[in-house]
Structure 1
């Protein structure tokens, strides 16, 4: 047994080191934008979210894949929530402080991940646990828990029968009563067991992680606010996990015959679980929240550590929208291919029109601004030299598609999206205005209607608590914008050199005057006459 104990310790240490190797291999892959983990976050995707689909928040090559270092279902869900819901300013500042502190401790972060990977059930969902914690058992059944001590009488009768002091049929009758009691509790036990199979192993993993979180001497306010409710969580959750694991013993037929029925094992487990629920059930939600927050923030810290050149943005209250970026780049584009740009937009009711030729970088630039604002408002570092921004609600309309199921065309789908923007802008407050990103606005209709519609939309947005970017091929819209005090024109350009198109992907002031559609068609073999 001593040798077996050494063997178990050695196996755990071996597996821990293997996990560290896998974690660092994954980190090296991320630096090359090769995402090896199967978790893409698509399970958390919302088709009608205000920006997640357009900005590649979830998917195989997504912001979630780039940032995610969570290993539990709770942590993954929390990270997905942070990516899709902007935080309040005070929470952003607290997270920034905590990220900066945890960024400097990669050993602890990787220890957390490697510990979670030691438990094969750590990623299991615990939704059934939340349901169970909020359920109340029938009081009649609870009173019947006293019957769990009946095996003591059965044992006494068996001893007296063995000593020939009582007839043996009394012992067998008492044992038969065990089956009656088990039958009485079969329904609640079966229902609980079906929902919580292997949950005990998951909770033991959670206990290990929470105890690990409570060991670190972090001083930031964000950590202290979450460590305080989790001080007693490790022991209590481990105790709960042990009882759920013991309840799973009933799945083994030999155990049920030799121990389960003679000792009324299920009743003891059920009574212990109900007792735990009464003592700790009200605290469970806050404990799970703390665990999820620890993991989500660890992902942000890991992202910051992997990109030491990414700064922490300055997020502060402003009178309306403020986005002031220097050398802003897209975090999902490799550094050797990324072309950063400067950009400034201040105040509400302002629209920046982006014109440019095909493939010149308009859509990518809109996504670059949007995805960095998402990062900034979840407390993360950003892909820029410097970024100052105010709290905003990002909204995008870039990938609207037709739907056979809903019998809608792509143009009608875009109109529904724009109506959503107007409704959000009308309801927006000065503390959280809307920052919109509209790509190839009203592309599904003729040029005359497109121009009139885009002009009307920008005018309607002007008095609202909203500002943003609109990309377009419509030069007339750009000329109209040049006459408006609340519209700014910028563009991307392309040049033809030696019969080849050249793009510099740099943002310039003014309206684009060079377009490449004809040249692209000629390159594809379509005979387009010279203008």
Structure 2
């Protein structure tokens, strides 16, 4: 079964489940209303007949049944949230498969960095980007991990192969991937940066954990609670006696404590609550702020812990989810989540009344601090594990949707790239594939060709496939071999008015970084599109020649596109490291066409005049 067929089948399945769950929810709502009305009628009838025992029994039964149905209603609603999320995920997967992914909401625009070595030129982030195409990470850390994978150089070949093995395993685990995505998707506020949460968990309020402080708070709040309850019972006894004209019936023990005792105790506790209140409020505010995030982390960890993996890379990741005593991360975060849930519900009318009596703030703070001591050193590891798996699942989507793309082989030695039928991964059915072989003997490929013939697209094709290869992802090719190199590009430059930088100077700064990297004896892969296009033709030609010679001598690997056909003569120089390639166009029925196929040699054609004529510019070719 193809990926598209699988997505359609799952979409139909979840759509059907969703409808059934909605029907159950509606039926339960109707049943709750019916039970409420019927119970009210029976209660009224039994009361008028003075069947007080039956009245109490029916009332209790109605409350229990109503609460049970409310509980059942909530469970089915939660299940439906997951069903709806999984339906949307498969709907999105179908759109991605069919090429309709440029409307996806998360484009990764927050990661755009015009000064990065290559990500801006290669459309790694932003509208119509690689990130927008494949991202299925919903947590802040997951998105960050995916960004790092595509923008940081891999440590070595083994790190790439380890990630490849993880991607191959996750490719087949479609349920695991989609359920992990659904866990993140159903919580809307999970993209908050957890840096504040990580820092807060490492902070300490040591005074609150002193034994004498804890015993004082427990005993004092317990005494206040008991004395307050005795007074409350006494007041209720007075009220009932007055209403029903009967003698007071509360035991005498409730009349032993004077009214002023609980009042005095509550006043003392109110003063105690002011001590270091700011520290406690910070605890409560952060716990409330990240309550939804912590729920998400807990649910994602539960899902991860249920699965067994074979890939050594993922196994090592999941080992971080258990401490030395064998306690799982999900159980530890579940305890924290329950504390945060209670704190998040403090904004009700009872809290201001109960807090001076029970000193709830202190007891919550004690619970938080105790949890911090147990889990502070592990929490960030757990969240990073979630993020890493989200990023790997995003890459696995590429492999699942494109099973015929190859996993690249990473080789050692001099810089090289060899590819068979390599195409641009974001172009879908529009892509045209080319073979490529660039080795140490001729490491610089000079690409000429007319306007719109495909020079820039070809270089972006090379760059984005290299980025995929280094990420441990499949590449859009039948075969792909490369070495690990520092990737640099200078393709998309523009004026920066804020910094008073012209496009030409911005290009110079990018090229400066490439030259510096090559002098540092790094293995550099460079992509230069229309080098020095911001200056006159003589300076451009001279500058380009010097630059090409310098970069080719350093043992780098590179691609340079140009309209300057004279640069092609450098191939014939003694000990030249340059090889000429070109893209060309052809004409049919007075229309221009491009085949986007890479050919050997300098371009024999030009189309600028033809395009000017199409624009309505009258050109006298006799002059």
Q: Which deviates further from its counterpart, 182-191 or 65-74? A: 182-191
Aligned to 1:491: 582
Aligned to 1:134: 202
**Pairing of 1:363-512 with structure 2 (within 5 A):** 363-429=456-522, 433-483=523-573, 484-512=575-603
Aligned to 1:151: 221
Aligned to 1:344: 437
1:320 aligns with 2:386: no
CA distance in 1, matches of 2:306, 2:194: 24
Q: Which deviates further from its counterpart, 272-281 or 361-370? A: 272-281
TM-score normalised by length of structure 1: 0.94
Q: CA deviation at 1:214?
A: 1.7
CA distance in 1, matches of 2:99, 2:514: 33
Aligned to 2:116: 49
Q: 1:212 aligns with which of 294, 303, 314?
A: 303
> In the alignment, is the contact (CA less than 8 A) between 2:117 and 2:489 conserved in 1?
yes
Change (3 A) 1:145 1:442: farther
> In the alignment, is the contact (CA less than 8 A) between 1:55 and 1:367 conserved in 2?
yes
Aligned to 1:61: 128
Q: 1:26 aligns with which of 92, 99, 103?
A: 92
Give ranges in structure 2 of 5+ residues lacking alignment: 1-66, 235-253, 323-327
Secondary structure of 1:197 counterpart: helix
TM-score normalised by length of structure 2: 0.81
CA distance in 1, matches of 2:174, 2:363: 43
Q: Which deviates further from its counterpart, 193-202 or 127-136? A: 193-202
CA distance in 2, matches of 1:84, 1:70: 17
Secondary structure of 2:136 counterpart: coil
CA distance in 2, matches of 1:292, 1:348: 42
Aligned to 2:267: 176
Q: 2:105 aligns with which of 38, 41, 64?
A: 38
Q: Which deviates further from its counterpart, 58-67 or 153-162? A: 153-162
Q: Which deviates further from its counterpart, 82-91 or 410-419? A: 82-91
Change (3 A) 1:101 1:513: same
RCO greater where, 1 or 2, for CA within 8 Å and sep 6 or more?
1
CA distance in 2, matches of 1:330, 1:192: 50
Pick the structure with greater CA Rg: 2
Query: Over aligned residue pairs, what C-alpha RMSD do you find?
Result: 1.9
Give ranges in structure 1 of 5+ residues lacking alignment: none
Q: CA deviation at 1:166?
A: 3.5
CA distance in 2, matches of 1:282, 1:342: 50
Q: Which deviates further from its counterpart, 124-133 or 324-333? A: 124-133
**Deviation digits for residues 314-368 of structure 1, max 9, x if unmatched?**
123x212121011110111022x11010111123982111111000000000000
Q: CA deviation at 1:146?
A: 4.9
Q: 2:138 aligns with which of 71, 90, 94?
A: 71
CA distance in 2, matches of 1:258, 1:34: 56
Change (3 A) 1:164 1:312: same
CA distance in 2, matches of 1:145, 1:491: 79
**Which structure has more helix as a fraction of its residues?**
2
Secondary structure of 1:512 counterpart: coil
CA distance in 1, matches of 2:386, 2:466: 26
Secondary structure of 1:391 counterpart: coil
Aligned to 2:51: none
**How many residues were matched structurally?**
524
> In the alignment, is the contact (CA less than 8 A) between 2:225 and 2:358 conserved in 1?
no
Q: 1:97 aligns with which of 162, 165, 172?
A: 165
Secondary structure of 1:381 counterpart: coil
